[in-house]
């Protein structure tokens, strides 16, 4: 009953005029108190004059508070700026009283406008004390009453600097949050052992199972701005082992209007533990690049294609064409865009392998920028189905690229993969051939062909993260193919921002790669995911080593043999310097490869692929026999 009453009260706010009346009542009370203090608590002063002066002080207070608008603040949410506003208001009040007193004495008027200077200054100090103190008292009581009915988590803040104090204030000032800060953690020896707001500052080494249990600690909020990913991984791992929930304060540029709110403090997720800083790109030229353009995205229902489409909606394009052969995911994307009020887009069910259908699409819609994300990408499946890999990854790219030249597309952006570098599997080799084909077309028309090459994308369909999540939900074990296997990772948002940037930056013929930091051990990634799920490794969920899959590498690469890079305007983005190729020979071989049919033997198809890509050496695959013949 009491909880419901408090909840009802929390949705109601006092009238601003009631706040004004209350503030003015305090001003009147403190004026009387100022007289009493001025005369040393001896009631030996002119009561009649004092009571005549109160209406004038009341009026002066009204003018002052109206000027600064202090009465408009919500008392329960009183903050630093509100306190400053009150102090300014009472100073204006004191100034009015001083000015009127000065002129009263100048013209020898001893009436209500002539107030002792000492009383004015005492009144000023009492106003600050009572007005600010009372509002902070109301705020404190409200927070206390609201929090008493919540299950509070005892929380430590990692970082006792300015960001830590802002985090402390954000948590403490939110009446509905379910956290109570009980201390700080810091690496700085000069802060350890001291107190901030009566709360102790501990070293990380102080934390132990015994300390956590004794103090009922449940959560740690990491508030250090720009913490290195390696340090974050180290700290998070240590805290996870203690059974603590770990949250992190977002970078200051993500705070809403420069202020941190409790809702912005999020749990540490796998993206935060990649071991590198996220890549940010800010290029105003993107607005001009997509202004009034007709944009076509193939594979638009996939993880990458759909995110490119979402980001494209931020620009003032003329028309957005979403093409995919997967009907249900494309329908979902269409409905998402409709619900979000996206205009000038069309979803088309179609297959890039169908040349006539694609040509009809080009003739009807006349796209000027094309993002080619349609591809088969699963290594084990393509290893057993090389015909399908060739038909989509190579022939589908061939169709879209050739039609782009024919119909005067301005830019064609190919979405490639690090598996195309020194490939060891059919999927990677077919993507490398797709890269070569668009290179062959460069300069044969007005179309600028640009390739983006990046590693694994967190959370994309079929990637290791969703697989691990499913295995954790099923109770484990998690399956890792090799204990030493490593991969480069990026978020879907980063990958798609790179693609959009490449379309703007590229002049044709480039392969864009970017600095993804250190590669991540999949085994360590699996352990971190288990811990992030609130479980223990190996007690709750174990990890099984199941052996490399056909065509799988232990280490991925971003550059092929004979390639190096040149810098771009962005320190994280580079352009691969590729070897010169025999365009005529490569084109003929690709055309020959695309004539194979579904009845062709797998060995025959892969043999033709290896003729085009001599660096393609199969690994842990039945196609290794073709390498031995070399």
492 CB-near residues (< 8 Å, 6+ apart): 303, 304, 307, 457, 458, 459, 460
Q: Which residues of 86-114 are buried (b: 16+ CB within 10 A; e: fewer)?
A: bbebbebbbebbeebbeebeeeeeeebbb
18 CB-near residues (< 8 Å, 6+ apart): none
What pLDDT sits at residue 277? 57
Q: Which of 135, 419, 448, 553 does the annotation list as catalytic?
A: 419
Q: What tens digit of pLDDT does each residue of 608-622 get?
A: 999 999 999 998 899
313 CB-near residues (< 8 Å, 6+ apart): 320, 337, 340, 342, 345
Q: Dihedral of CA 423/426/432/437: which sign?
A: positive
Cβ–Cβ contacts within 10 Å for residue 402, how many?
19
* pLDDT greater at residue 204 or residue 519: 204
What pLDDT sits at residue 263? 57
What pLDDT sits at residue 590? 96
Q: Do 216 and 154 meet the contact criterion of CB atoms below 8 Å apart?
A: yes
Q: What is the mean pLDDT of residues 201-217?
A: 89
256 CB-near residues (< 8 Å, 6+ apart): 264
- For residue 372, pLDDT over 70 is answered with yes
* pLDDT greater at residue 6 or residue 585: 585
Q: Do 35 and 96 meet the contact criterion of CB atoms below 8 Å apart?
A: no
605 CB-near residues (< 8 Å, 6+ apart): 386, 387, 390, 593, 596
Q: What tens digit of pLDDT does each residue of 442-461 get?
A: 989 999 999 998 777 766 66
Percentage of residues of the chain with pLDDT beyond 90: 32
The helix or strand, by DSSP H or E, that contains position 369, with its residue range, turns out to be strand 369-372
Query: Across the strands, what pairs with 248?
Result: 222, 266
pLDDT bin (cut points 50, 70, 90) of residue 224 is confident
What pLDDT sits at residue 252? 55
The helix or strand, by DSSP H or E, that contains position 33, with its residue range, turns out to be helix 16-38
Q: Do 398 and 592 meet the contact criterion of CB atoms below 8 Å apart?
A: no
| Residue closest to 514 by CA, chosen among 525, 502, 522 | 502
| Residue closest to 184 by CA, chosen among 194, 174, 176 | 194
Q: What is the mean pLDDT of residues 136-143?
A: 70
406 CB-near residues (< 8 Å, 6+ apart): 362, 445
Alpha carbons 555 and 562: distance in angstroms, whole number = 18
Alpha carbons 581 and 439: distance in angstroms, whole number = 9
What pLDDT sits at residue 416? 93
480 burial type by CB count under 10 A (0-12 exposed, 13-18 middle, 19+ buried): buried
What pLDDT sits at residue 259? 54
What pLDDT sits at residue 281? 59
The HSE-up count of residue 233 (CA atoms within 13 Å, CB side) is: 18
- For residue 553, pLDDT over 80 is answered with no
Query: Domain boundaries in the chain?
Result: 2-147, 153-268, 285-624
Percentage of residues of the chain with pLDDT beyond 70: 82
144 CB-near residues (< 8 Å, 6+ apart): none
Secondary structure of 44-98 as H, E, C letters = CCCHHHHHHHHHHHHHHHHHHHHHHCHHHCCHHHCCHHHHHHHHHHHHHHHHHHH
pLDDT bin (cut points 50, 70, 90) of residue 273 is low
H-helix segments, 269-326: 285-290, 303-312
DSSP category for residue 202: E
Q: What is the mean pLDDT of residues 285-294?
A: 88
What pLDDT sits at residue 2? 45
| Residue closest to 332 by CA, chosen among 361, 305, 292, 296 | 305
- For residue 569, pLDDT over 90 is answered with no
What pLDDT sits at residue 539? 84
Q: Do 124 and 89 meet the contact criterion of CB atoms below 8 Å apart?
A: no
- For residue 586, pLDDT over 90 is answered with yes
pLDDT bin (cut points 50, 70, 90) of residue 435 is very high
What pLDDT sits at residue 522? 83
Alpha carbons 348 and 204: distance in angstroms, whole number = 56
Q: Do 497 and 543 meet the contact criterion of CB atoms below 8 Å apart?
A: no
Q: Please state the φ and ψ torsions of residue 220, each to the nearest 5 degrees.
A: -130, 130
Q: Dihedral of CA 416/417/418/423: which sign?
A: negative
Q: Which of 146-155, 294-303, 486-495, 570-579 is most confident?
A: 294-303
What pLDDT sits at residue 272? 64
Provide the CATH topology of domain 285-624: Rossmann fold (3.40.50)
Q: What is the mean pLDDT of residues 458-465?
A: 66
What pLDDT sits at residue 453? 86
Alpha carbons 451 and 563: distance in angstroms, whole number = 15
What pLDDT sits at residue 185? 92
Name which of 46-55, 85-94, 275-284 the model is least confident about.
275-284
Q: Do 183 and 160 meet the contact criterion of CB atoms below 8 Å apart?
A: no
Q: Do 219 and 244 meet the contact criterion of CB atoms below 8 Å apart?
A: yes
* pLDDT greater at residue 262 or residue 218: 218
Q: Do 515 and 571 meet the contact criterion of CB atoms below 8 Å apart?
A: yes
| Helices (H) then strands (E): counts for the chain | 23, 22
Q: What is the mean pLDDT of residues 86-90?
A: 86
Q: What is the mean pLDDT of residues 127-136?
A: 82
User: In the chain, helix, strand, coil percent, each to 5?
Assistant: 50, 15, 35
Q: What is the mean pLDDT of residues 598-609?
A: 91
What pLDDT sits at residue 197? 80
Provide the CATH topology of domain 153-268: Rossmann fold (3.40.50)
Q: What is the mean pLDDT of residues 157-177?
A: 79
| Residue closest to 174 by CA, chosen among 182, 166, 162 | 166
Q: What tens digit of pLDDT does each residue of 387-425 get?
A: 999 999 999 999 999 999 999 999 999 999 888 989 999
Mean pLDDT of the chain: 83
Cβ–Cβ contacts within 10 Å for residue 529, how many?
23
* pLDDT greater at residue 236 or residue 229: 236
Q: What is the mean pLDDT of residues 333-356?
A: 96
Residue 483 falls in the annotated catalytic set:
no
Q: What tens digit of pLDDT does each residue of 470-519 get?
A: 888 888 899 998 888 877 777 778 778 878 887 888 888 899 886 666 67
The helix or strand, by DSSP H or E, that contains position 412, with its residue range, turns out to be strand 411-417
Q: Do 271 and 346 meet the contact criterion of CB atoms below 8 Å apart?
A: no
């Amino acid at each position: 009953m009491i909880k419901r009453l408090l909840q009802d009260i929390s949705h109601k706010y006092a009238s601003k005029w009631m706040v004004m009346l209350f503030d003015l009542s305090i001003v009147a009370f403190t004026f009387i108190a100022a007289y009493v203090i001025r005369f040393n608590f001896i009631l030996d002063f002119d009561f009649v004059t004092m009571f005549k002066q109160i209406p004038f002080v009341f009026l002066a207070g009204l003018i002052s508070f109206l000027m600064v608008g202090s009465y408009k603040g919500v008392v329960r949410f009183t903050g630093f700026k509100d306190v400053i506003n009150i102090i300014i208001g009472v100073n204006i009040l004191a100034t009015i009283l001083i000015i009127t007193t000065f002129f009263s004495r100048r013209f020898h008027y001893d009436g209500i406008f002539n107030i002792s200077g000492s009383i004015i200054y005492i009144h000023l100090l009492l106003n600050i004390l009572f007005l600010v103190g009372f509002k902070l008292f109301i705020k404190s009581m409200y927070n206390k009453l609201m929090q008493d009915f919540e299950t509070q988590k005892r929380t430590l803040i990692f970082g006792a600097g300015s960001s830590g104090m802002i985090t402390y204030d954000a948590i403490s000032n939110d009446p509905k949050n379910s956290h109570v800060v009980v201390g700080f953690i810091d690496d700085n020896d000069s802060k350890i052992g001291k107190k901030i707001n009566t709360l102790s500052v501990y070293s990380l080494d102080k934390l132990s199972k015994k300390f956590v249990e004794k103090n009922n600690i449940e959560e740690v909020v990491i508030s250090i701005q720009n913490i290195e990913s390696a340090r974050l991984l180290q700290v998070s791992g240590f805290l996870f082992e203690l059974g603590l929930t770990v949250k992190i304060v977002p970078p200051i540029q993500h705070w809403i209007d420069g202020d941190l709110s409790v809702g912005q403090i999020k749990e540490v997720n796998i993206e935060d533990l990649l071991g590198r800083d996220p890549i940010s790109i800010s290029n105003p030229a993107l607005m001009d690049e997509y202004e009034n353009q007709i944009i076509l995205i193939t594979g638009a229902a996939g993880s990458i294609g759909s995110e490119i489409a979402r980001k494209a909606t931020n620009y003032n394009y003329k028309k957005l064409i979403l093409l995919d052969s997967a009907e249900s995911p494309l329908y979902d994307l269409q409905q998402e865009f409709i619900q979000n009020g996206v205009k000038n887009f069309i979803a088309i069910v179609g297959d890039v392998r169908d040349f006539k259908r694609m040509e009809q699409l080009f003739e009807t819609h006349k796209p000027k920028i094309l993002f080619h994300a349609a591809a088969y990408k699963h290594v084990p499946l393509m290893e057993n189905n090389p015909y399908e890999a060739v038909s989509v990854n190579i022939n589908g790219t061939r169709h879209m690229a050739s039609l782009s030249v024919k119909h005067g597309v301005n830019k064609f952006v190919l979405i490639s993969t690090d598996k195309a570098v020194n490939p060891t599997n059919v999927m990677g080799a077919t993507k490398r051939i797709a890269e070569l084909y668009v290179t062959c077309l460069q300069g044969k028309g007005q179309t600028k062909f640009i390739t983006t090459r990046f590693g694994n994308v967190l959370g994309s369909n079929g990637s290791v993260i969703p697989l691990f999540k499913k295995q954790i939900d099923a109770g484990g074990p998690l399956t890792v193919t090799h204990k030493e296997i490593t991969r480069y990772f990026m978020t879907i948002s980063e990958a798609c921002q790179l693609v959009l940037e490449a379309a703007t930056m590229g002049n044709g013929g480039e392969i864009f790669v970017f600095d993804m930091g250190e590669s991540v051990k999949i085994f360590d990634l699996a352990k971190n995911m288990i811990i992030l799920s609130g479980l223990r490794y190996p007690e709750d969920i174990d990890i099984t080593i199941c052996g490399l899959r056909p065509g799988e590498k232990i280490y991925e690469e971003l550059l092929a043999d004979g390639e190096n890079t040149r810098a771009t305007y962005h320190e994280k983005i580079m352009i691969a310097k590729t070897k010169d190729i025999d365009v005529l020979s490569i084109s003929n071989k690709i055309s020959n490869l695309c004539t194979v049919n579904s009845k062709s033997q797998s060995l025959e198809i892969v043999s033709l692929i290896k003729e085009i890509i001599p660096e393609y050496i199969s690994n842990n695959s039945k196609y290794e026999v073709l390498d031995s013949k070399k």
